[in-house]
Every structure is written in C-alpha cells, then in structure tokens.
Amino acid sequence: MITALLIFTFLIVFLIMSLCFHLAGGILKLAFKLLICLPCAILCGVLGLLFCCTLILIPLGIACFKLTGYLICPFRACVI
C-alpha cells in the first residue's frame, strides 16, 4: 500500500515537473523568435526589397526573401 502511494506521488511530481519544463521551453522559444528572429527577418526583408529595386542584385534580393521566410517559419520554408 505504501509502495503504491509512493509510486503514485513520484508519478504526479514527475508529470508536474515535465509540464513546467515544457512551458518554460515554449516561453524561451517564443522569446527567441520575438527578440532575435523577427528583427533579423524584418531587416533581411527590407534588404531584399532594396536589392530587388536594382537590376543586377535581383537574385540576391530573392535570396534575402527566402531567408526571411526561413527565419519566420523554418519548417515551412523547406517545402517550397
């Protein structure tokens, strides 16, 4: 009886700790996306727009737009 209660208590503690780690990881991922990836994507998009205005640098502008798409959503950019 005591062993079953002890196992049940450890299971509950383990589940609560895993939930906390998942929440902390999600918050860190969101902070990284908002603080680092989004400003880099905006800057790269602006550079792509400027490069596409010139005739010679159009391929570099297209590459900047692809990099912007990858910074915003890295898994969906591989499908293109």
Residue 22 lies in a domain: yes
Residue 60 lies in a domain: yes
By C-alpha distance, which of 77, 65, 76, 71 is closest to 36? 71
Number of domains, the chain: 1
Give ∠ CA 78-66-72 in degrees, rounded to 5. 75
Q: Which residues constitute the domain of residue 36?
A: 2-72
* Per-residue pLDDT at 28: 92
Residue 78 lies in a domain: no
Per-residue pLDDT tens listing for the chain (80 residues):
778 888 889 999 999 999 999 999 999 988 988 898 889 999 999 999 999 998 888 999 999 999 898 888 877 655 54
pTM: 0.68
* Per-residue pLDDT at 23: 94
